[in-house]
Amino acid sequence: MNLPVFAQDLPQATGGKEQTVQSSQTLRLNLDASTIPAEKVSQFAKAYLQVLALIEGQQAQLHAAETEVEFHRKEREIQDQAFAIIEQVGLTKSEYLQLLNLANIDPEFGERVAVQLQEISNK
């Protein structure tokens, strides 16, 4: 499963690809996907879908920026809104990013997330 939202769409949140790769390797050592509670998976899936909708909804405004300064200002606004969504569902920024990375590197956890996303989408 490859969840593209947030870590890649808002690169400053992860510190770039090198840090993402390093974080992914660290996560594999520190997190056991089978021990992550269903509630955390549910919170992550809810946040993921809301952040995805936010980013998709703001793409046009972001690309309509006429200057680099305006682009970065809008990008920060989107990032702040995304972090607010993440915190509203009960996750920290760090938890969200860790779960996002884990879903991308651990097939078992990625499947758990995919099932949760499907369940939410079917409601």
Token pair listed for 33 = 């996907």
Sorting pLDDT into bands at 50, 70 and 90, what band is 4?
A: low
Q: Which residues of 71-88 are buried (b: 16+ CB within 10 A; e: fewer)?
A: eeebbeebbebbbebbee
- Cα dist from 112 to 27, 61, 70, 79, 88, whole Å: 17, 33, 38, 26, 22
Helix or strand holding residue 108 (H, E) = helix 107-122
Token pair listed for 66 = 């006429």
Domain range list for the chain: 39-122
pLDDT at 32 (0 to 100): 78
- Cα dist from 37 to 74, 76, 82, 93, 123, whole Å: 35, 31, 23, 17, 21
**Tens digits of per-residue pLDDT, 74-118?**
999 999 999 999 999 999 999 999 999 999 999 999 999 999 999
Mean pLDDT, residues 25-43 taken together: 77
Residue type at 74?
Answer: K
Full-model pTM: 0.75
How does DSSP assign 46-70, residue by residue?
HHHHHHHHHHHHHHHHHHT-SSHHH
